[in-house]
Every structure is written in C-alpha cells, then in structure tokens.
Amino acid sequence: MGYLPIEDHGVIGDLHTAALVGTDGTIDWLCLPAFDSPSVFCSILDDEKGGHFSLRPTDYVRSQQLYLPDTNVLLTRFLSPQGVAEVLDFMPIHTGHGERHRLVRNARVIRGEMTFEVECRPAFDYARCPHTVSTGKTGVVFDCGNFRLGLTTNIPLKETNGGGAGARFTLGAGERATFVLADIGENEGPGDILSPPEFEELLGRTLTYWRRWISRSTYGGQWREVVNRSALALKLMVYDPTGALVAAPTMGLPERIGGERNWDYRYTWLRDAAFALYALMAVGFEEEAGNFMGWLRDRCAQDRDGLLQPLYGIDGRKDIEESALDHLSGYMNSGPVRLGNAAYEQIQLDLYGAVLDAAYLYNKHGAPLDYDLWQNVRKILDWLSDNWQRPDEGMWEVRGGKRQFVSSKVMCWVALERGIRIARQRGLPGGDGHWISERDRIYEEVMAKGWNPQRKSFVQFYGSDALDASLLLMPLVKFVGPTDPRWLATLDLIQKELTHDTLVDRYLNAEAAPDGLAGDEGSFSICSFWLVECLTRAGKLDEARLALEKMFSYANHLGLYAEEIGTSGEALGNFPQAFTHLSLISAAVHLDRALHHS
C-alpha cells in the first residue's frame, strides 16, 4: 500500500478509542475496544501485514478532508473527471456497558458516476493473531478466537487474499453505500444492515453530541476556530470511563524517519495534568477537568510511599512493560516498534510539580480539595521534601543516565510552593515549616548551580553548558519573573541556539545530556507554544502573535499536530498529540488576554 505522510490523516473516535483515516480513504490505525487494546488495523506501522480498511473510488485526481463544522465527524472528498464522491467517517459515542464499538463509513456520489473499491482486512493483536473470515447475507465476520469483528453492508462482499473481504461497486449521483464495523460477541453474526433512516439518525445523534459539547466552550477570542479544534481533538483523547487523557491515540510513529525513537503513547502521563486542567478550565470544560482530577486523585490515593510513576494505564494500572514488535517493519522502516513504555519505571521529579500545580488550579478554579485528598498530597510532599536532591531522568525521559536536571528542580519547587499555598489559603495542616525551608533551598540551589555565568543562561543540568527548551517553563510556572534579567538572557540564547524562526528544538544532542538514543529529531511543537507564552508574558506581544500564527500554519489540513515538526515541515511522532494541543490552547488564551489588556 505504501505510507501516507503522518499529517495526511484525520482522527475519529468514540471516547474509548480512536482511528486514523487517511486522505486516501484508508483506516490504517484502530485499536479495540480501548486506546491501549491490541490493534485491529495497523498498516501505518507495516503497510504489508498491518491490516487496513480502505474505501475509495478506483479513479480520482485528488482528495480533500474536512471535519463537519464543530464535530469530529470526518468527510473525505474525492474529485475526478467522472464526478465528485465523498466518504463520511465517524464513531458513534459509546454510551453504555455492553454497547458495541462501531465504526461507520458512508460512501456517496455527489455528481457523476463513480466506481469504488472497498477492502476490510484486519490484522488482530498487532498482526500476531491469525483469523478466519465468514461471509453471509448481511456482511462478514472476522474471528481470531478471542476477539471478533462484524462488518455489515448492503454491498455483497467476497473474501480477499490475506484474510480480508472486499468488493468493487458503482454508485450514481445521489446513491450511497454504508459499512458498519463493530466488535461482536462469541456467537453473534455481523449484525443487521443499517438502513438509510437508521444511518441518518445515528449520524444526527453523533453530530448533536459534538456540537453540544463544543458549545460549552467559553473561549471567544480571535483564534476561536483553532482553539475549538484543539479542544475537540483533546476530547477524542479522553478515555471516558476514567477521565484519563492519553498522550496520543497511536504508538510507534517515529520522531525521526528510520530512527529508533518510536514510543507507545497510549497511556496517561502525570506531567500532562496541570496543562490539561489549566487548558480545559480556561476554555470552559470544567467537567473534563474534574474527571481528570478524579483520575489523578485515585493515583495519589493508590500510592503508598509518595513516589509517583511518570505514567499509568488509562485504567490506572501501574505495570506497562515495554517490548519490541519485531515482526512489524515500522512506519517507513522505522524500527523497533515499541509496545508499552519503560518510562513508567523512571524517576522523573518534575511530575510532582505538575501534580501539585493541577491540585492548586483545581482547588482555586474547580472544587476545594477535601481532607482525604490533602492527606495523600501531604504524603507526596513529605517524600519530595526528602528526595528532591536526587538526580532523575528528567521531563524528556532520557535513557542515558540520571542527571541533576534544572527543569526537574524547578518543578520540585513548584510542587512545594503550590502545596504551601493550598495549605495557607485553606488553613490545612502542612509541613511544620519543612516544606518552606526545602522550597527555599531548591530556589537558592537552582540560582547557584542551574545558572551558568559563562553562558549567561540557565542550563540543562548542573555544571552543563547545554540549553534545554524545558527551561521555557520557568516563567510559566512563576519560578522567575517574565522580565527577570537572568531569564531574558536565557530566552535570548534559546531563541538563538534552539529556535528556527518559531520552531523550537528540545536540546542539541551534541551538547546535551546523552539521551541514550541515536540520531536527531524534529522540533517539538509544545516548546514552540511555550515560547509564544514566554514572549507574551515578557510583553513582546507582536513577536508572540507572529510566532503563534506561524505555528498555526504547521498544523495539518484539519488543524491537528503530531509531537514534532521535521526539517521539511513534516509531522513526526505520535499523532495527534495531546500535549501540543494543550499548549496551543494555553498560549492562545494568554496572548488573547494580553492583547485585550494592552
């Protein structure tokens, strides 16, 4: 099949899982029944044996994709001399236990006459589990033993090579064909064919859900469409049963083509917590913020000694063993394809700042923290007070050994400072002065050891000459003032050495702490949005606005971002990435507010 560029995809979902839909009408990524379940289609990771669900005209000149306004219902339009055809893709919102997860595809011809080809060829369990194919009057059943899929349609399907089913059919103007793929029980058939009125009712319910949801947005600034699209993308990455937010709905997409930086992001990082709560509450989505806070509360309660993991499963599980799927070639031969994520075993001290900042924000803007939650927070802060001096793997999860990373120390300060604030504002018991003394020790140490007088800059780790884009968090978390001379000198150097116009690299590999991995990577989009926010807070509003609007131009045709932007402007890494969309919202909200008050 070949590989589409990562950015040539849209995403649809049902708040339990999500699918990637290419501009060529191919679904090349889907896990069922949840984000972190084994895949049923993964041709984006192996175009030969990964499995796919293709639906497109046999002959077309070009295609276009758009979301129906204010929804996550995706339309792919195919243009040719023979006419115009469209494929409408969506997943009805999963609302209850026992309900099927359904993927609905509707092909229609707008004008002229078009011949389509359809092939559904699943590859269960990351293409490790063989399956049987059974065709019937209403469709096909794919059975791999412990998991079954049913595909229903009024188009007669025949078994194809490789364990698929497909057909070629012709539609005239105004004619339609609908395909519904669903997980089914052990003794079930493919199901009943969806009639045109039933399809319209299902589509209408899905459109209404998304439009009602986004209507709750309180953001009315000048980048409303961009911000709302990011909010809609983030909602697709929420696992509704627990409120957890996955870092991305995909795994294994490379941060460098042909390289080994291919991670599984279908889990929830505590680091995202404060950014998620702030961004969601800033645009009016208090319910989602509250649900995520509930998930976070459960992780704090689950912890016994105060040592939190960097990431957890969307259901809260702790063990996320990492292994390599060596039978998959990887996107454009970018291997290994990693399943699971060994970073769950790392010590990353910066996450404590994220957790406490989230608790502080929710206590201030959401609901007051209760005593039982505060007892768990106290335990975490007591542990941190005794352990912040330890080296760690840092927020970038390096695999080249622990260091005294400056951003980790800054976020330790954030954790203690926010905990002290909560205790003071609420009159809660806290620290016996120990938190305050340790907070002050951290601050003095960062100023003494994290500042390099020769470079006239804060640096990546103590004793280093290297810059690190994580330092952009320093004014955002209020560790330094946005116009502090030391900070402005650091910001200037970051713009000179790590920034290409508005694209910001995390660090320069040759100078930075070894991350244990070969090769370079793209620019990190989240760092670019942090730069916008730093410029905004420093009062450089024209520069910030230009940087923000240039970053908007690096989104794909649907307004979606992967983790990184490559040297040719291509999307790299898992897609779409929650952290990037969270930082976009935060940057836009802050700049919009500053412009209105300038």
Q: Could you report the per-residue pLDDT of 279-290, keeping only the tens digit for each? A: 999 999 999 999
- Rounded Cα distance between 432 and 121, Å, is 63
> How many Cα neighbours within 13 Å face the side chain of 68?
19
Mean pLDDT of 520-542: 95
The C-alpha atoms of residue 340 and residue 264 are separated, in whole angstroms, by 6
pLDDT range class, residue 2, cuts 50, 70, 90: confident
pLDDT at res. 401: 86
User: Residue 529: is its pLDDT beyond 90?
Assistant: yes
Task: Output the pLDDT for position 522.
Answer: 87
pLDDT band (50, 70, 90) for residue 512: confident
Region of poorest pLDDT, from 8-22, 112-126, 299-313: 299-313
| Sequence-ordered alpha helix ranges (H) in 450-484 | 473-476
Beta bridge partners of 41: 30
Both tokens assigned to 296 = 């976070």
- The set of residues, in sequence order, having a beta carbon less than 8 Å from that of 494 and lying 6+ positions away, is 457, 467, 469, 471, 472, 504, 531
Beta-carbon count within 10 A of 108 CB: 18
pTM flag (> 0.85) = yes
> What pLDDT digit, counting tens, does each position of 359-385 carry?
999 998 888 988 988 999 999 999 999
Where is pLDDT greater, at 90 or 1? 90
Instruction: Assess whether the previous peptide bond of 241 is cis (omega < 30° from 0).
Output: no
Task: Please say if the pLDDT value at position 1 is more than 70.
Answer: no
Per residue in 549-587, pLDDT (tens digit) is: 999 999 999 999 999 999 999 999 999 999 999 999 999
Of 247, 249, 248, 245, which is closest to residue 291 (Cα–Cα)? 245
**What does the pLDDT read at residue 246?**
97
- Residue 483 per-residue DSSP state: T
Position 325 pLDDT exceeds 90 = yes
Report, as an integer, the average pLDDT of 464-472.
96
> Is the pLDDT confidence value at 474 over 90?
yes
Query: Band of the pLDDT at 310, cuts 50, 70, 90?
Result: very high
Helix/strand/coil (H/E/C) assignment for every residue in 100-122: CCEEEEEEEEEEEEEEEEEEEEC
Q: What is the 3-state secondary structure (H, E, C) of 61-83?
A: CEEEEEECCCCCCEEEEEEECCE
The CA distance from 257 to 520, in Å, is: 10
Measured CA to CA, the distance from residue 570 to residue 64 in angstroms comes to 18
| 542 CB neighbour count, 10 Å cutoff | 10
Higher pLDDT, 464 or 2: 464
Roughly how many angstroms between the first and final C-alpha of the chain, as a whole number? 53
Residue 97 — very low, low, confident or very high, per pLDDT cuts 50/70/90?
Answer: low
Q: Is the pLDDT of residue 52 over 80?
A: yes
Share the mean pLDDT of the chain. 94
d(CA 440, CA 459) in angstroms, rounded, equals: 20
Average pLDDT estimate for 93-111:
89
DSSP 330-348: -GGG--PPEES-GGGGS--
Q: Please report, to the nearest 10 degrees, the dihedral formed by the alpha carbons of residues 181, 182, 187, 188 taken in order.
A: -70
Question: What is the predicted pLDDT for the residue at 177?
Answer: 98
Given this model, what pLDDT does residue 482 score?
97
* Cβ within 8 Å of residue 389, ≥6 positions away: none
Using pLDDT thresholds of 50, 70 and 90, give the confidence band for residue 520.
confident
Nearest to 427 by CA among 374, 356, 361: 374
Cα gap 231→55, rounded to integer Å:
28
CA 570 to chain centre: 17
> Which DSSP category does 513 fall into?
P
Q: Is the pLDDT of residue 519 over 70?
A: no
Residues facing residue 106 across a β-bridge: 88, 178
In this structure, the dihedral spanned by the alpha carbons of residues 588, 589, 592 and 594, taken in order and rounded to 10 degrees, is: -120
pLDDT in the model for residue 597:
83
Identify the band that residue 400 occupies on the pLDDT scale cut at 50, 70 and 90: confident
Query: Tell me: the pLDDT tens digits for 207-241?
Result: 999 999 999 999 999 999 999 999 999 999 999 99
Q: Delineate the domains of the chain, giving CATH numbers in brackets.
A: 9-212 (2.70.98.10), 451-598 (1.50.10.10)
* pLDDT higher at 373 or 444: 444
Q: Distances from the Cα of 325 to the Cαs of 18, 44, 336, in angstroms?
A: 21, 14, 7
Q: Which helix (H) or strand (E) holds 298?
A: helix 286-302
The pLDDT-based confidence of 306 (bands split at 50, 70, 90) is confident
Dist. CA 430–CA 89, nearest whole Å = 52
Beta partners for 66? 75
| pLDDT, tens digit, 9 for 90 and up, residues 149-199 | 999 999 999 999 999 999 999 999 999 999 999 999 988 889 899 999 999
> What's the Cα-to-Cα distance from 591 to each of 279, 502, 537, rounded to whole Å?
13, 16, 8
DSSP 187-251: T--S-PPPPHHHHHHHHHHHHHHHHHHHTT----STTHHHHHHHHHHHHHTEETTTTEE-S-S-B
Percent share of the chain, pLDDT over 90: 85
Whether residue 23 contacts residue 65, with contact meaning beta carbons closer than 8 Å, is answered with yes
Using CA atoms, how far apart are residues 430 and 424, in angstroms rounded to an integer? 9
Q: Which residues are within 8 A (CB) of 432 and not within 5 positions of it... i.e. 6 or more apart? A: none
CA distance 82 to 60: 8
pLDDT surpasses 90 at 464: yes
